[in-house]
Structure 1
Amino acid sequence: MNIFSFLNNQLLKMKWLSDLVKLLVEKLFGLSIEERLGGSIHFFIYDTIKIFILLSVLIFAISYIQSYFPPERTKKILRNFKGIKGNIFGALLGTITPFCSCSSIPIFIGFTSAGLPLGVTFSFLISSPLVDLASFLMLTSFFGGKIATAYVIVGLVLAVVGGTIIDKLNMQEYVEGYVFGIENVDVDSYEMTRKERISYSKSQVKEIIHKVWLYVLIGVGIGAAIHNWIPQSIIEKVIGENNPFAVLLATAVGIPMYADIFGTLPIAEALFGKGVGVGTILSFMMAVTALSLPSMIMLSKVVKPKLLGIFIAIVSLGIIIIGYTFNGFSYIFM
C-alpha cells in the first residue's frame, strides 16, 4: 500500500510538480500560495502542466491500443453480439475509443449504415466520449480511485441502459433515410507494424492536444477562479448540498458547453475543493461530455427530432438520477 500510495502521489497526482511550482511561485514571484493571487498562479501552472503531461502519456498509450480496433474491425466484432450483450459490448468498445462526442458521430453513422442494431450504436455513442482509460487515470489523479471507479461504472451503466431502451423502442424509422443509403464496404483492416502504431499514437497525441488545449486552459482558468476567488458560501448556496436543485442546475449548465473530460477536470477539481457534492460534479462532467450542444446539433442531422429528443431525455434523466444518488451516498467516497 505504501508503494501504491507513493506511485499515486508522484506519478498521477504529481506531488513533485506541485512542490516545484510552489517553489517557483514563492521564489520567483514572491507570493504565498496561501494568498489568492499566489494560489491562483500555482493552481493554473500546476494543473496546466499536469494535465498536458498526463494527456500526452495516456493518449499515446490509449491510441496504441486503439490501433488494434479500427472502425472496420469494431463493426465486425459488434455484429456478433445482439440484445443486451450487444449493448454491453458496444459500451465497452466505446471505452477504448477516446473520441469526443462530435468525432464519435461519424463512427455512429458508419455503424448504423452497416446494419448494426440502433441500440448498440447508441450505447457506443454514449460511452465513447464519456468513459475511457485516460479519463479513469486522470480522474484518479484528481479525485482518487473510488470516485474514478464510480464514474466509469455509472458511465457504462448509463450507456448500456440508454442503448437498451432505444433498442426496445424500435426507433429505426427515425434515423434519416440517407444514412441507410450510404454505401458501406467492408475492408479488411490493414495490420500496422509496431513502428506504424507508434507513429499513429504520436499523431493522435498531437491531434488531440491541438483540439483540446484551448478548452484545457479555459477550464484551468475557471478552476483557478473558483478555487481562489469565489467564496465558498456562494458556491454552497448555488450548487451546494443544501440546494435541492444543485444537480439539475449543474446538468443544465453543462449541456450548452463544448469540452471533453480533460477540460472539465480543473473546474470539477475546484468545485470539489469547495465542498460541492460528488453527484453534482459527476452530473456536470457527464452533461458536458455526453450532451454538448455542438454534438447534439450534429446528431440532429443524422436522426429525426423524435429520436434526438428521446436520446437527450434518456441521457439527461440518467445523469440526474446518478447525480442525486451519488450525493445521497457521498459518504462512501470521502
Structure 2
Amino acid sequence: MIRTAARPGRPLQLAGWAVLWAAALALNRPLWDRLFWEVWALDPGTRLWSALHFFLFDTSKILLLLVGIVYAVALVRSYFSVERTQALLGGRREGVGNALAAALGVVTPFCSCSAVPAFIGFVAAGVPLGVTLSFLIASPMVNEVALVLLFGLFGWKVAALYMGAGLTLAVAAGWLLGRLGLERWVEPFVYAIPLGERSEGSGGPTFDERMAFAAEEVRTIVGKVWPYLVAGIALGAAIHGWVPEGFFLRVAGPENPFAVFAAVLLGIPLYSSAAGVLPLVEALHAKGLAMGTLLAFMMAVVALSLPEMLILRRVLKLQLIAVYVVVVAAGIVGVGYLFNAVLG
C-alpha cells in the first residue's frame, strides 16, 4: 500500500487552529468578567454569582486546556507505541531504566484501564519489575493533563515542582521496589505469556492520519473525562462560594502537623482524573489550604486510586500491591511536606 504525503495545507491549518485556541484561552477570563460584572451588572460579592462565575470560567478554561493539550500530545504519541516503549526499556539497567521509564510515562500516558496490558507487555519484553513500576507510577501522575492544568491554574513554578517531584518519586519508588526482589509476588501467568510478533509497518502513518488519530484521542478522552470534570468544578464552585474556610483550615490547615497524612489517606480510596480533581484543589487552595497538602492529595488520587489497585490485582499479588501502596504513599507524603516548605 502506497501512502500519500500530507496535504500541503494541513500544517498551516493546524497552525491556524492553534492561534485560535490560544486566543480563546487568553480571552476567556475577560469575557466572563465583562459578562458578569459589566454587561449583566451582577454583584461579585454575592455568593451565588461568585460561584456561578467560578464554575463557567473554570469549565471553559479547563476544557480549552484539555482539548488543546490532548490533541498536541496525541500527535507526539502517534510516534510511540507500546511495542516501541517496550523496546526502549527492555534490557536497561536499574537506575537508568527507572529514569527513562518515568520520562516515557509523561509522553506515553496510560490510564488505569491500560495498566494491566502495559504491565504484561513490559514484563514479557524483559523490562525489570522496578522499571515497569516506575512507568506505572509516572504515567498517571505526571501526565500532560495534570501539568497543563497546574500551569493554567497555579503557574509554571507549581507545575515544574510537581513534574520534578513526580518524576523523582517514580524513579526512586520504582528503584526501591526493584531492589526488594518482589518478583515472587507477580502472578505466575504473567511470565508465561509470550510476547508475540511485532508487525512491521510500511513506513508509519501519514501526517493526515496522525491528525485524525489526535482528533479521535480528543473525542475519546474528553468524552470520558468531562462528567468528572464538570462534577469536580461544580463541587469546587460550591466550596468557593459557600463552604466556610474555617472548616478546611481545622481539618487540613497549616496548624495541623498531620494534614499531609490526612490528605493522602483521604485521596487513596477516591478515583478521579487530574482534570476532575484539580478544580477542587483550586477551590480548597483559595480557602487557605497549603499547596503541598493539596498536591499530595492530588497525587494520591491519580496514582493510588482504589480502582487502579483492583485492576492491578489481576497481575500482582496482594503483598506486592500493599508494598507498592506503602512505598508510593510514603513518597507522596514526603513530597507534600517538601512542597509546603518550598512554597511556604
Same topology, TM > 0.5: yes
- Note if contact 2:116-2:314 (Cα within 8 Å) is conserved in structure 1: no
- What fraction of aligned residue pairs are identical, expressed as a percent? 41
**Over residues 176-233 of structure 1, what are the superposed CA-to-partner deviations in whole Å (9 max), with x where a residue is unaligned?**
0111122211414631111111111111111101111111011101111111111111
- Note if contact 1:104-1:128 (Cα within 8 Å) is conserved in structure 2: no
Q: Once structures 1 and 2 are overlaid, which stretch shifts more, 185-194 or 294-303? A: 185-194
Rg larger in 1 or in 2?
Answer: 2
Answering whether residue 188 of structure 2 is matched by residue 177 of structure 1, we say yes
Matches within 5 A, 1:1-334: 11=22, 14=25, 16-26=27-37, 31-188=42-199, 190=201, 191-331=204-344
Q: Which residue of 2 aligns with 1:4?
A: none
Amino acid at match of 1:127: A
Amino acid at match of 2:213: Y
Q: Any idea what SS the aligned residue of 2:95 has? A: helix
Amino acid at match of 1:209: V
Q: How far off is 1:14 after superposition?
A: 4.0
Q: How far off is 1:12 after superposition?
A: 9.8
**TM-score, structure 2 length as denominator?**
0.89
Q: How far off is 1:126 after superposition?
A: 0.2
- When the two structures are aligned, how many residues end up with a matched partner? 322
Name structure 2 gaps, 5 residues minimum: 1-20
Name structure 1 gaps, 5 residues minimum: 1-9
Q: Which residue of 2 aligns with 1:7?
A: none
Q: How far off is 1:97 after superposition?
A: 1.6
Q: Is the alpha carbon distance of 1:292 and 1:102 closer, same or farther for their aligned partners in structure 2, counting shifts above 3 Å?
A: farther
Q: Is the alpha carbon distance of 1:280 and 1:13 closer, same or farther for their aligned partners in structure 2, counting shifts above 3 Å?
A: farther
Q: Once structures 1 and 2 are overlaid, which stretch shifts more, 21-30 or 215-224? A: 21-30
Q: How far off is 1:253 after superposition?
A: 1.5
Cα RMSD (Å):
1.8
The CA distance in 1 between the partners of 2:197 and 2:149, in whole Å, is: 36
Amino acid at match of 1:182: I
The CA distance in 2 between the partners of 1:29 and 1:99, in whole Å, is: 44
Amino acid at match of 1:174: W
Q: How far off is 1:249 after superposition?
A: 1.4
**Over residues 112-147 of structure 1, what are the superposed CA-to-partner deviations in whole Å (9 max), with x where a residue is unaligned?**
122210011000000000112342222111001111
Amino acid at match of 1:313: V
Q: Once structures 1 and 2 are overlaid, which stretch shifts more, 100-109 or 43-52? A: 100-109
**TM-score, structure 1 length as denominator?**
0.92
**Over residues 144-192 of structure 1, what are the superposed CA-to-partner deviations in whole Å (9 max), with x where a residue is unaligned?**
1111100000000110011101110111111101111222114146311
Q: How far off is 1:16 after superposition?
A: 2.4
- Note if contact 1:251-1:319 (Cα within 8 Å) is conserved in structure 2: yes
Q: Is the alpha carbon distance of 1:11 and 1:35 closer, same or farther for their aligned partners in structure 2, counting shifts above 3 Å?
A: farther
The CA distance in 2 between the partners of 1:101 and 1:30, in whole Å, is: 45
